[in-house]
Amino acid sequence: MQDFIDLLNKVTPDLLRGTVVTLQIATISLVLGMIVGLPVGIGRVYGPVWLQRVLGAYVTLFQGTPLLIQLFMVYYGLPDIGITLGRLQAAFLTLGLNSAAYQAEYLRSALQAVSEGQMTAARAIGMSKWQAIQSVILPQAVRLALPAWSNEAVAMLKYTSVVFLIAVPDLMGQAKILASRYFAPIQIYLIVAVFYIALVGVAYLILTLIERRARIPGLTGDTT
Amino acid sequence: MTSPILRIEDVHKSYGSLHVLKGVSLTVQPREVVVLVGPSGSGKSTLLRCINLLNPPTKGRIWLEDQEITAPGVNQDRVRQRIGMVFQEFNLFTHLTALGNVMIGLIKVRKMRKNEARDLAMFELERVGLADRAHYYPAQLSGGQKQRVAIARALGMDPHVMLFDEPTSALDPELTGEVLAVMQKLAGEGMTMIVVSHEMGFARQVANRVVFMEGGVVVEEGTPQHMFEQPTHERTRAFLRNIMQ
Amino acid sequence: MMGLFQDLLTTFNFIVQGLWVTISVTAVALTVGFTIGVVMAIARVYGHPALQTAVSAYSVVIRAVPVIVIIFILFFVISRYVNLSPFWAGALALGFASGAYQTEIFRGAIQAVQSGQMIAARAIGMSRLQAIQSIVLPQALRLALPAWGNEATLVLKDSTLVFAVGVPEILRRAQQVSARTFEPFLAFGVALLLYLALTLITTQALQWIERRYRLQV
């Protein structure tokens, strides 16, 4: 037991540094995913047919292949065609574009769940199609998509864990170094698991709070 | 003789091979209340949606006051602003309170400032007797209250004509009265109204004119007295006899 | 031109040998996860309250930890006590992780079966276990199909994670061939497309099965 506490004391500073990197990657990727995912989701519902096809292909490509291969493609493959990215940049870009595909899909089904009468009523008081989307459809869709989006945000914390495989010093990256330094992989990965549980738990609590704040009677995305 | 507020000339509407309106002409004078009656599928609702260009006619012309609104290049959003519409299913904006529902058009379409919009919206809610429900969300209102908010929302745009598409059909019978009372009050204030409805009591009391449609054409029109007591056409008589029972 | 085609062929031929490994890892993991999932779900719904709590804890904890972390922990635990190949250690670990997600899927499905079904089964003299086995489960499994199909494609994609413990699946093969040909774009491109084909075929197959076994309620 004393050994374990000693080990814990030795590895915690490095693991905390890794946690900061993990949080940084998760946050930036989520925001990037939102910036890209929002127009993709809207375009998939309201865009011209050719655009819907192109965006559909984007979503299929990112949802139909493993994140890890996407990461390797971006970090190791793209330099082949002249695009060289740093480790962190590759992590942001891959996770961001991957998350964008999922976020776009959540938004798309939420947009489609808003009843047609809402658009009709908005047009009937003289709103243009774009005005109606912006001030009537989208605010409702965003609320409907919120539960799915929170799940995505929590899951993102876990998805970031693959970036250590391109040697990003995130929580897992630090763990791998520490595991070989102290010859105690099982203990260290168990400690890391607890770190992740804490991260996921806190994120879950915060997002539940946000969901409760944004709740409007008659407008929830809880389908279960 | 004043000039008509609305003139509909030989309007046709088809969806693919389905010919819903087969040449409807109708003229409405300012302050007039016209009630459209007819069996379901006769094209009444389609006609309303043609008038405010939600589904523009495939053929034919419509004038609103001096403007031909079916002419190419007409700003349809502007036209809809001048024609209020109330739907069977209310279609209140789910994410906004009663007040927000009335305000949003004022802010986004009429470009009012927020304070101004709030004052006018409160005034419109008072008009339909719902000032005390201003901060309720649609899900917290009864059907009759929802429909009255929908009327206030339409009134906020300062429409010249109001269209009502079966405004009481989705309501429980005990809730129709409050909506009809608001409509009657509006008529009394001189609002021009076209109402699709099966409420014959309302038609008899409030309408200046009753129009009977069937199969995409106007079969007969006249004063409520004429239509209810000595309609010319056998089909009108049969329909009204049926619905009165 | 000829050179590129030659490279493509070499790359493809090398990577495609990992296809069978990927499919096998996925199949083993799904089977292990299915077994864990069904047993845990039954325990979660019908078990003793203490057992229910234990199962919930397992499910919540495992689902809060990244799959790669679970694979690492189990890989080192397993290889300390038994002599297993990376393939089996990786596949079992992946299955153990999937078990938590499948527990939730089957729990939801069992709870979605109308309670009248259980009562009716007991009323004709079935024991509780018999009723679960022959009335509730057959319905629950069908109700679970759409969610289970989704989980299956997730496991298929997560199977690349066993790359990290040295299993020669598609990604590992792609990495090896790119180190030899110095054409990583081509190698990982082939791996991506191979996977895309795999997930699209799987999705189609699952949809076909879903249509076939849909429960008419």
Residue-wise pLDDT for B114-135, tens only, equals 999 999 999 999 999 999 999 9
Residue A120 burial class via C-beta count within 10 angstroms: exposed 0-12, middle 13-18, buried 19 and up: middle
Say how far apart CA C26 and CA B47 lie, in whole Å: 59
How many helices (H) and strands (E) chain B has is answered by: 9, 10
**Mind listing the pLDDT tens digit for each residue in C152-167?**
999 999 999 999 998 9
Name the 3-class secondary structure at C7. Answer: helix
Q: What is the average per-residue pLDDT within A102-106?
A: 97
Q: For residue C200, give every residue at least 6 positions away whose Cβ sits within 8 Å of its Cβ, in sequence order, or none.
A: A60, A64
CB atoms inside a 10 Å sphere around CB C138: 11
Q: Does B164 touch chain A (CB under 8 A)?
A: no
Q: What are the domain boundaries of chain C?
A: 2-212
Confidence (pLDDT) at A221: 54
Are the Cβ atoms of A123 and B108 closer than 8 angstroms?
A: no
Q: At B110, is the pLDDT very low, low, confident or very high (cuts 50, 70, 90)?
A: very high
Question: CA of B1 to nearest chain A CA: how many angstroms apart?
Answer: 30
**Mind listing the pLDDT tens digit for each residue in B37-78?**
999 889 999 999 999 999 999 999 999 998 999 999 999 999
Are the Cβ atoms of A189 and C76 closer than 8 angstroms?
A: yes
Confidence (pLDDT) at C125: 84
CB contact at 8 A, A126 and B80: yes
The pairs formed by A177-184 with CB atoms below 8 angstroms and a separation of 24 or more are: A177/A14, A178/A11, A178/A14, A178/A15, A182/A7, A182/A10, A182/A11, A184/A7
Q: Does C164 touch chain A (CB under 8 A)?
A: yes
Smallest Cβ distance to B94: which of A124, A127, A219?
A219
- Token look-up 């609103």 returns B64
Residue C30's H or E segment, with its range, is helix C19-46
Smallest Cβ distance to A172: which of C69, C160, C187?
C69
CB contact at 8 A, C68 and C164: yes
Q: At B241, is the pLDDT very low, low, confident or very high (cuts 50, 70, 90)?
A: confident
Q: Which is nearest to A182 in space by CA: C78, A190, A198?
A: A190
Q: What is the average per-residue pLDDT within A156-164?
A: 96
Q: What is the average per-residue pLDDT within B8-33?
A: 94
Q: Do chains C and B touch (3 or more CB pairs under 8 A)?
A: no
Confidence (pLDDT) at C215: 66
pLDDT of C82 over the 90 cut: no
Chains that touch A (3 or more CB pairs under 8 A): B, C
Q: Does C205 touch chain A (CB under 8 A)?
A: no
Q: What is the average per-residue pLDDT within B14-39?
A: 94
Say how far apart CA C60 and CA B62 lie, in whole Å: 64
Question: CA of A192 to nearest chain B CA: how many angstroms apart?
Answer: 42
Q: Which is nearest to A91 in space by CA: A27, A14, A176?
A: A27
Say how far apart CA A183 and CA A75 lie, in whole Å: 29
Tokens of residue A80, six digits: 């082949």
Q: Does B138 touch chain A (CB under 8 A)?
A: yes
**Which range, C21-35, C126-140, C202-216, is most confident?**
C21-35
Smallest Cβ distance to A121: which of B79, B87, B140?
B87
Are the Cβ atoms of C69 and A159 closer than 8 angstroms?
A: no
**Mind listing the pLDDT tens digit for each residue in B172-190?**
989 999 999 999 999 999 9
Residues of chain C with C-beta less than 8 angstroms from the C-beta of A196: 64-66, 69
Q: Does A84 touch chain C (CB under 8 A)?
A: no
Q: Does C109 touch chain A (CB under 8 A)?
A: no
CB contact at 8 A, C160 and C170: yes
pTM comes to 0.88
Confidence (pLDDT) at A224: 35
Phi/psi at B215 (nearest 5 deg)?
Answer: 60, 30
Say how far apart CA A154 and CA C60 lie, in whole Å: 13
Residue A91's H or E segment, with its range, is helix A87-113
Are the Cβ atoms of C66 and A161 closer than 8 angstroms?
A: yes
Question: CA of A84 to nearest chain C CA: how many angstroms apart?
Answer: 12
pLDDT of B245 over the 80 cut: no
**Mind listing the pLDDT tens digit for each residue in A120-145?**
999 999 999 999 999 999 999 999 99
Single-letter amino acid code for the residue at C57: A
CB contact at 8 A, A92 and A77: no
Confidence (pLDDT) at C1: 58
Say how far apart CA A89 and CA A69 lie, in whole Å: 16
Question: CA of A75 to nearest chain C CA: how many angstroms apart?
Answer: 10
Q: Which is nearest to C77 in space by CA: A185, A195, A178?
A: A185
How is B54-80 classified by DSSP, letter by letter?
Answer: SS--SEEEEEETTEETTSTT--HHHHH
pLDDT of B143 over the 80 cut: yes
Minimum CA–CA partner of B51 in chain A: A124
Q: For residue A220, give every residue at least 6 positions away whose Cβ sits within 8 Å of its Cβ, in sequence order, or none.
A: A143, A144, A147
Q: Which is nearest to B156 in space by CA: A137, A124, A216, A114?
A: A124
Confidence (pLDDT) at A220: 67
Single-letter amino acid code for the residue at C38: V
pLDDT of B151 over the 50 cut: yes
Residues of chain C with C-beta less than 8 angstroms from the C-beta of A66: 157-160, 171, 195
Residues of chain A with C-beta less than 8 angstroms from the C-beta of B77: 123, 126-128
Are the Cβ atoms of A127 and B78 closer than 8 angstroms?
A: no
Q: At C128, is the pLDDT very low, low, confident or very high (cuts 50, 70, 90)?
A: confident
CA quadruple A148, A149, A153, A159: dihedral, nearest 10: 60
Q: At A223, is the pLDDT very low, low, confident or very high (cuts 50, 70, 90)?
A: very low
- To the nearest whole number, what is the mean pLDDT of chain B? 93
**Mind listing the pLDDT tens digit for each residue in C29-62?**
999 999 999 999 999 999 999 999 999 999 999 9
Smallest Cβ distance to B139: which of A122, A143, A218?
A218
Minimum CA–CA partner of A120 in chain B: B54
Single-letter amino acid code for the residue at C13: N
Say how far apart CA C40 and CA A51 lie, in whole Å: 45
Minimum CA–CA partner of A214 in chain B: B95
Minimum CA–CA partner of B80 in chain A: A126
* Beta-bridge mates of residue A219: A216
Q: Does C210 touch chain A (CB under 8 A)?
A: no
Question: CA of A134 to nearest chain C CA: how many angstroms apart?
Answer: 32
CB contact at 8 A, C101 and C151: yes
Say how far apart CA B17 and CA A5 lie, in whole Å: 80
- Looking at domain C2-212, its CATH architecture is Orthogonal Bundle (1.10)
Tokens of residue C19, six digits: 């296809």
Share of chain B above pLDDT 70, in %: 100
Smallest Cβ distance to B154: which of A125, A127, A217?
A125
How is A38-87 classified by DSSP, letter by letter?
Answer: HHHHHHHHHS-HHHHHHHHHHHHHHHSS-HHHHHHIIIIIGGGGT----H
**Mind listing the pLDDT tens digit for each residue in B182-228?**
999 999 999 999 999 999 999 999 999 999 999 999 999 999 999 98
* Beta-bridge mates of residue B164: B86, B195
**Mind listing the pLDDT tens digit for each residue in A30-84?**
999 999 999 999 999 999 999 999 999 999 999 999 999 999 999 999 998 999 9
Residues of chain B with C-beta less than 8 angstroms from the C-beta of A120: 54, 87, 91
Q: Break chain A down into helix, strand, coil percent, rounded to 5.
A: 85, 0, 15
Question: CA of A47 to nearest chain B CA: how many angstroms apart?
Answer: 20
**Mind listing the pLDDT tens digit for each residue in C177-205?**
998 888 899 999 999 999 999 999 999 99
Q: Which is nearest to B162 in space by CA: B186, B144, B129?
A: B186
- To the nearest whole number, what is the mean pLDDT of chain C? 91
